Structure 1
Amino acid sequence: MHLSRLSSLILRAGVGAVTAATLVACSTPTPLPPMAPLPTYPQQQPAPPAPIARPAPVAPAPQSNPNASFGRPAAGPSTGRFDGNANKGIDIAGRLGEPVLAARAGQVVLVSNALPAYGTMVILKHEDDFITAYAHVSRALVAEGDTVSRGQPIAEMGQTGTDRVKLRFEIRKAGVAVDPEPYLSGRMQ
């Protein structure tokens, strides 16, 4: 048995030596092999900032001459001129839904779409011999009998009875169509 005890001691000593050798090997720094370089990627540009939601632009207020007896009813440019025959007023370009303003204080005497050539229209009677007509509107904001002031929204720009969005604006004096431009510019009262 002495031999088996000896072998057990040797075996134990061997395990201890292996353990000691392992500990020694782990405690001494061993240089690591060099690492392969990391791959390079093209730099990504930061994403552009999301656009800021802005409200739709509002049409500028019509430029009216304060000395004129009538204010301009819509902000857009004139696209059709008075000729007294085919065009008994002026055409003013615009965008669908833009406001149409009363050119002068008065009373609403008609809101109708009975005349196909004019589409939906609003007619105002003024304190003297004048009436104004606003044709091709998409929606009237006033009713017959309403009293309105100069510059008050009375309708929205439309294209009823026409092929494009526009306002047909007419002035009639004693029932006769007159050129609106001199009244809008202040050359005529």
Structure 2
Amino acid sequence: MATFPTTLPAAAQALTKRAGRLGLSCLLAVGVLLLAGCGSSSLNRAPVEDRGTGMSRSVAGAVDTAGVKQLPGFENAGKPGYYTVKPGDTMIRIGLENGQNWRDIVRWNSLENPNLIEVGQVLRVVPPTAENPLVVTRPVSSGTATASSGTAAPAPAPAASAAARPASAPASSPAPVAAGEDEIAWIWPAQGSLIAGFDDAKNKGLDISGKAGDAIVASADGRVVYAGAGLRGYGNLIILKHNNTYLTAYAHNQTLLVKEDQTVKKGQKIAEMGNSDADRVKLHFEIRRQGKPVDPAKYLPAK
């Protein structure tokens, strides 16, 4: 009987003893199979398929990261003259809070549908021609504002200047006029009594009482930049732009008597008092300086 090397596994040697009458070729075949079985464990440690799958996951992850959607205007976030859309925003509210005609903002940003804006989207809120939105420019003269969303865009509102001095401001709150900023001789927009004063946290203007149908008049010369009921909490609303610094808002009206882009004069009847989106008949009146609400009582003449 032929002998085998001692390097064969013990199981192979035992098998050869028990198969004494088998031929040499059969024993060699058994040995080859046993040797193949001993080496198989090392080949299964890192199959090619696993390595390939691992690489595919890594590449896919990189693609997913690189493919994250960036919202329009993201590169301008935080820059002067730009506004980042917040939850609940509408174009009307964005225009009011930035002292601009919302239609101009739509045009400056080439928005196809102003009703489709996304939280985090960054919008230009100064004219595209303004190289520096912080520069004080010559405002539209009171009573002669003629720019509309279809014509030349208005000059940018200055971002940091003192409030305009009213015609009869209280002695305790003088408001000097900044360079390039017109004085405005404000008047009361309604004849009723004051029922709620300005509170920066709770009430952005004054609430004035009256009867349904009482006249609401323009507090100063200006142009209608909004007339409608598209801003929640304001009911039937009119917004006037007086110059590049000031807007006024007249809310909760029963009837609106003016249209967008219409020029109005101080004292002109623009609406009738009502209780739309309010718990009682009243006028909610705001003065906004570069979109920020200020206390109208510091601008209106004493009654």
TM-score bucket of the superposed structures, by smaller chain: 0.5 to 0.7
Task: Select which of 234, 237, 243 maps to 1:121.
Answer: 237
State which of 88, 96, 104 in structure 1 corresponds to 2:204: 88
Identify the structure with the greater strand proportion.
1
Residue 185 of structure 1: how far off its partner (Å): 2.4
Deviation at 1:116, TM superposition (A): 2.7
- Structure 2 match to 1:73: 189
Q: Which residue of 2 aligns with 1:110?
A: 226
From 142, 145, 151, give the equivalent of 2:267: 151
Structure 2 equivalent of residue 175 of structure 1: 291
C-alpha contact (below 8 Å) 2:224/2:241 kept by paired residues:
yes
In structure 2, how many angstroms separate the alpha carbons of the residues matched to 1:154 and 1:66? 22
User: 1:93-132 CA distances to partner (integer Å, 9 max, x unpaired)?
Assistant: 0000010000000000001211231111000000240000
Q: Which digits, 9 at most, give the CA deviation of each residue in 1:64-91, with x for residues without a partner?
A: x964621000000010110111100000
Give the secondary structure class of the aligned counterpart of 1:155. Answer: strand
- Unaligned runs of 5+ residues in structure 2 are 1-165, 170-184
Could you tell me which amino acid in structure 2 is paired with residue 147 of structure 1?
T
Letter in 1 for 2:219: A
Secondary structure of the 2:299 match is helix
C-alpha separation between the residues in 2 aligned to 1:150 and 1:128?
Answer: 17
* One of 224, 227, 246 as aligned partner of 1:130: 246
Q: TM-score, normalised by structure 2?
A: 0.39
Which runs of structure 1 show a deviation greater than 4 angstroms over 4 or more consecutive aligned residues?
Answer: 65-68
- Percent identical among aligned pairs is 46
Higher helix share: 2
Paired position in structure 2 for 1:15: none
Rg bigger for which structure? Answer: 1
Q: Which residue of 2 aligns with 1:101?
A: 217
- Name the Cα RMSD after superposition: 1.5
For 2:202 and 2:167, the matched residues in 1 are separated by 30
Q: TM-score by structure 1 length?
A: 0.62
d(CA) in 2 for partners of 1:96, 1:102? 18
Whole-Å separation in 1 of the counterparts to 2:203 and 2:230: 18
SS in 2 for 1:136: strand
The count of residues paired between Structure 1 and Structure 2 equals 122
CA distance in 1, matches of 2:167, 2:272: 23
CA distance in 2, matches of 1:110, 1:143: 8
Report the Cα distance in structure 1 between the residues aligned to 2:268 and 2:205, rounded to whole angstroms: 20
| Structure possessing the higher relative contact order (Cα contacts under 8 Å, 6 or more residues apart) | 1
Alignment match of 1:163 (pick from 279, 283, 292): 279
Amino acid in the other structure paired with 1:149: K
- What do residues 24-74 of structure 1 show as CA deviations (whole Å, max 9, x unaligned)? xxxxxxxxxxxxxxxxxxxxxxxxxxxxxxxxxxxxxxxxx9646210000
Alignment-derived partner of residue 69 in structure 2: none
Secondary structure at 1:138's aligned position in 2? strand
1:24-43 alignment, distance < 5 Å: none
Please say if residues 168 and 300 of structure 2, whose CA atoms lie closer than 8 Å, have aligned partners that are also in contact: no
